[in-house]
Amino acid sequence: MGSVLDTRSLNRATLARQLLLSRAALGAEEAVAHLLGLQAQNVKPPYFQLHARLEGFRPAALAQLMESRKVVRMVTMRSTIHTHTAHDALTLRPLVQPARDREVGAFRKGLVGVDLERLGELARAFVEAEPRTMGEIREELLTHWPAADPQSLSVAARCRLPLVQVTPRGVWGRSGQVRLTTLDRWLGRPPGEEPPAHAVDDAVLRYLGAFGPASVKDMQTWAGLTRLREVFERLRPRLAVFRDENGVELFDLPDAPRPDADTPAPPRFLPEFDNLLLSHADRTRVVPTELKGRTWTGNQAHRTLLVDGFVAGLWWWEDKGEGKGGKAEGKRGKGEGKREGASIAVELFGKVSKAQKEHIVAEGERMITEMGETGDADGAAAPRPSVRFGSIHG
C-alpha cells in the first residue's frame, strides 16, 4: 500500500524539489531545466521565480539566456506560456501536442471549411518569413478563409505550430510587442520530429523530480494531458510508492529528497502564476484548505507569500515615484525595473510570530535590493528598501 505522507511531509518534499527550502547554487539555465520550465503568462514572473530559488541570482542571468536563445517563451503545458530551455522546448512541446489538437477541436464551429493542414503550412511560411504579431497572423489567415471566426483561426495557428515569442519580449529591462516565429526557425534547426517513444517516460520522471511525490492526476494537471496512468504503471517498478492522508496513491523517485516534516522553511515571495501553486490536482500541500480561492481573482493569479512553507499572504510592489497612493503595479507584475523608494506591501491572512515577521521583512528587503537597481545614474545610493504590512485593498 505504501507508507502515508502527511500534508507537512508532502510540503517539505515539494519545497525541496522546488529549491525553496534553501536557495540552490545552480545557474539559471540549469534551474530552468530542473524545474521543467517557468510559468510565464506575464513577462517578469520567471525572474522572480528564480530569485526565490537560486543563490546569487540577478535578472541579467536569465535575460542573457533569452537573448542568446538558450531559453525561449512559448505555449506548452496547460496551453499557457512557459519559459523553457531550448532543449525542453523541442521535447516538451511535441509531447503536449495532443492537448493542443483537442483545443483546436473546441473551436471547430468557427473553423468550418478550414483545412487545418493548409492553415499550418500557410501560417508557418508567414511567420518564418519574419516574426509576426498574432493580429497579423489572423489577418493573413482571414484572406484565405474570410468566413471563418478570427479568434478560432488564431487558436488554430497557435496550437498547430510551435510558436515562440521572439526577443526583446521577455528580456528584463526591455519591452517589446509579442511577435512570433516557429521554434525551429528561432533556434536555427530543422522542423521538429515526433518525440521519441521514451519521451513521456522521461517527462514523468523529471516531473516527479521537480514536483513529487505526486499522483497520476497531479501530473495530468501539470501537463494538461490525459491517459498517463499506463505510463506510471510501466514505471512503477522504478518508483517509490506512498499514499496521502486521503488514500491517494503517490509516486516518487526512490532517491529524491523527502525532508523531515519539521525542517525549517524560510519565507519566500513568489510571483503570480508560480508553478508551485499550479502543478498539482490537490494543492493543499501548499495552499491551506481554508485559503482556497484567496490566491486568485477571476483568471488573475496574485503574488503569494510563503510562511513555514505554506501560502500565508499576498504581496505587491509600492513605488513612491509612481504617483498618488504609490501603487505602481497593483497585482499584475508590470515594470519591475529601477525603483525609487520601492517597497513591498504584504497582506497576511493570519497571525505570524515576531520572528517570522522579521524573516519576512529581511527576505522582502533582499528581493527589492537584488531585483532592482542599487543606485541612481549619478551614483547616489537608492533609498533603503522597506516592507510594510497592511491590506491589499487598503
Segment 138-153 mean pLDDT? 97
Tell me the sheet residues that pair with 242. Answer: 250
How sure is the predictor about 377, in pLDDT bands with cuts at 50, 70 and 90?
Answer: very low
Contact 306, 348 (CB under 8 A): no
CA atoms of 9 and 264, how far apart (whole Å): 12
Residue 352 confidence (pLDDT)? 95
Supply angle C-alpha 81, 83, 85, rounded to 5. Answer: 135
Task: Identify the DSSP state of 33.
Answer: H
**pLDDT > 90: percent of the chain:** 81
Residues with Cβ within 8 Å of residue 207, at least 6 apart in sequence: 36, 214, 219, 222, 223
Looking at residue 247, what is its pLDDT? 96
pLDDT of residue 194: 64
Domain residue spans in the chain? 1-266, 287-389
What phi-psi label fits residue 175: left (phi over 0), alpha (psi between -120 and 50 degrees) or beta? beta
User: CA-to-CA distance for 80 and 41, rounded, in angstroms?
Assistant: 7
End-to-end C-alpha distance for the chain, whole angstroms: 50
Return the C-alpha cell found at 344: 513591498
Residue 326: pLDDT over 70: no
In this predicted model, what pLDDT tens digit does every residue of 98-132 receive, in sequence order?
999 999 999 999 999 999 999 999 999 999 999 99
- CA 66 from chain center: how many Å? 15
Q: Which helix (H) or strand (E) holds 306?
A: strand 304-307
Distance, in Å, from the CA atom of 129 to the CA atom of 160, rounded to the nearest integer, reads 18
Task: Provide the H-helix boundaries in the chain.
Answer: 7-17, 28-34, 45-51, 59-67, 86-95, 97-105, 116-129, 134-144, 150-160, 183-187, 199-211, 216-223, 229-235, 354-371
Work out the percent of the chain whose per-residue pLDDT is above 70: 88
Q: Where is pLDDT greater, at 189 or 7? A: 7
